[in-house]
Structure 1
Amino acid sequence: MRLSDFILRDLEPIAKQWEAFAVTLLPAAGHLESLELREHVKEILQDVAMDLQAPQSREAQREKSMGRGAGTVDPAANVAAQKHGVLRAKAGFNFNQLVAEYRALRASVLRLWMDDCQPDVPDLNDLVRFNEAIDHAVAGSVCSFNAQIEQNRNLLLGMLGHDMRSPLQAIQVTASHLAILNAGEQISKAADRLIRSGARMQALLDDLTDFNRTKLGLGINVIPANVDLADVLADEVDELRAIHPDRQIDWNVSGDSQGYWDGPRLQQLLGNLVLNAIKYGSQDAPIRVTLTGDATRVRIDVCNRGVAIGAEMLARVFDPLTRGANQQRDEERIGSLGLGLYIASEIAKAHQGTIEIRSDDAETTFSVLLPRASGA
């Protein structure tokens, strides 16, 4: 019997074997009913059978084996496998358990079919095409499984960032109140530590929120207004100087700095670039921040001396959750998620701008180019 006919004839016993294996995948399967364990398996097998029955040229077979073919004849095919991936992700299955289900399904179908074919020899082309179809189903399930896991993670991060703000604000308000009580040196110092730690946690939550927005496809939220960028960034430089009095930060402006931007977001961008220079640059060399305006755009350059960044690191310096290997002090590693440069690049993109990096033995320079009238 041809494999497609066998699958369609024996859907029920195959589904029972699938369920018998799926129920062993604990703890995720422990709370699932029989229908949930078997959901979509018959549809997956029907898709496989339709694939086996469809004509397929050698070229189409080669393309499909490389993941470039249509996979099945039905435009809606592989939907069952994708739904199955989402279902298993929501049920708490892990990646290995998901793939194990398909390994068990593959082995079960082939074993039952070969037994049914006796004493005849099974059709080898059916065997090859069945394995291709199962691989196609696995790919669909894995893709949707990963997408669901990513969505779950992003939603969790969003809720975490949101729910932590209220208790953090209470801590910051209480610390500020203690600081102005003038209740003695020890209490004042403790209040100052709380205020600094609260500011660091606030920065972490802000980075987490921004990162989460980008992963959900929402991008960095910007509200452009007509601003003088020189004044906006000068305030940020002054604040950075106050926070890091041991570092020299030079500030230079030339040309027209008036334009349509989100001032607070560009302060955040500059702050992230300067803090990166403080962490990784030479401790005894100044950090140079330059703002240059021409007829259509402005340019922000942040330069620091230090060890050149290697080519491998340069290629992924704007990737999220990336850190260099030579941060200077332990206290600088605390309060950093490795998101600063990623968020800086996303802020530049939100203004229809670009950000790039150059690094050699002399210095490292981050350059941000922003159109003068960026979109909303």
Structure 2
Amino acid sequence: RARARAAVRRIPTAQFGYEVGDPFVQGIVNSFKDDPVCLRAAKTALPVKPAVPGQRIKPISVVAARGHQIHHVKARGYVERPIRVRQIMKGLEGVPFVEVACRHFPNHHVTAVHDPKLVSYLRAVCKRLDDKAIIYPEVFPIRRPEKAPKALEDRAGYFCADTFTPITSMVYKAARQAVDVALTAADLVRGGERFAYALCRPPGHHAERRIFGGFCFFNNSAIAANYLSGDGKVALLDIDYHHGNGAQDIFYERDDVLTLSINGHPRHAYPNFSGYGDERGDGKGLGFNRNWPLEPPCDDDRYLRVLDEALKAVRKFRPRYLVVSLGFDIMKGDPTGSFDVTPDGLERIARAIAELGLPTLIVQEGGYAVRNLRVGANRFFGTLAANWFRG
């Protein structure tokens, strides 16, 4: 104990200039009470055990956005930060996984889903900005949308849904890399992996065909789902707190991609204009879009009851692939959500998804409470690793 106290006393005094007798320093030193000092048990990295005794646990294939740090909006209150990926990777330390290098895919996969004008605009405006420049959309052309302004900086509102998704010089590069992450993971599923995780940043599920917003620029999940649909039907299940308006918009008139979203009620939750239960698709897509808007409170049991309905729709659809848009903002304490899903609830969600037995791509979307990202990743993927094993 004496040696531990001496060591921790040294840190604030030598590194931060505190006096030895400072009450703050003494409080830290005196917190070491047991002798000898014992380490507490780990809180997050739970041991992963097979769901079926004797089965070998299957490592999870993970593709991560390793260059995502180039997109870092430092404005006060901007919650979509680089630390999100670091915390998720910390959570995965207690889970068996293998990291797969990201590959580059041609741009036609992006323009198959997004309006080429949106793609060209983001590429062009980012090239023109210097490293410190930042553009917040301010004016939105609801009266004359066909008359886009000449200046690229003034044109942001023509392509954006809100005022809090700024453009910086690195947005296009980071968003394009996130697409490559999703497509690399999708290719693993196409190649026979039963499960792959695309740790994307920035997220993508609010990006519609011709607009970006909600921290999202390109719709990683939708681009991957469209890519997989070349082999057969795809179900896209969005379990982020916020409605998956992007996939709904992109696939609304298609019957080969079933889009499902369990979300906070749009009366109170972003994006506010979509996510209602009566939005069921149009034309060929009528009946192939489902939303479950939920008012708070929403605990584990309530969420799992609704998830059971969504998974029944997946089974009825009989897809070849499942894409899951995963958001840890459904967890209790997220600054952008109002659900009360616990770590135990995440385990139950993962188990229910695993029981579908479908080749599944998980794409990272939201989640902004640091501890929830770490704990949520550990519990969700630890459960999947225990339930998805090699035969």
- Smaller-chain TM-score range? under 0.3
Greater helix fraction, Structure 1 or Structure 2: 1
TM-score (norm 1): 0.24
Higher RCO by CA contacts (8 Å cutoff, separation 6 or greater): 2
TM-score (norm 2): 0.24
